[in-house]
């Protein structure tokens, strides 16, 4: 099952995060939010703990 880990303000930011997570070996999907022009970054639920650690480093 896929779960949203981050909502990016635009497609460029979402793609950058996806590329960095993919380079670390994670499966990542991007989809446009139905609420606004934001983009959701989704990952497999089983990898949340590991991905959270890497995502924190990417965003800081």
Give the position of tokens 């949203």: 4
Secondary structure (DSSP) of 7-43: EESSHHHHHHHHHHHHHTT---EEEE-SSSS-EEEEE
- CATH class of the region 2-59: alpha beta
**Domain boundaries along the sequence of the chain:** 2-59
Which of 33, 44, 36 is closest to 21 using CA atoms?
44
**Per residue in 6-55, pLDDT tens?**
999 999 999 999 999 999 999 999 999 988 889 999 999 999 989 998 99
Kindly report the length of the chain: 60
- pLDDT at site 60: 86
What values do phi and psi take at 30, rounded to 5? -125, 140
């Amino acid at each position: 099952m896929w779960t949203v880990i981050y909502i990016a303000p635009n497609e460029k930011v979402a793609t950058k995060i996806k590329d960095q997570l993919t380079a670390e070996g994670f499966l990542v999907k991007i989809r446009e939010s139905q609420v606004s022009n934001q983009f959701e970054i989704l990952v497999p639920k089983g990898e949340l703990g590991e991905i959270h650690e890497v995502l924190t480093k990417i965003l800081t």
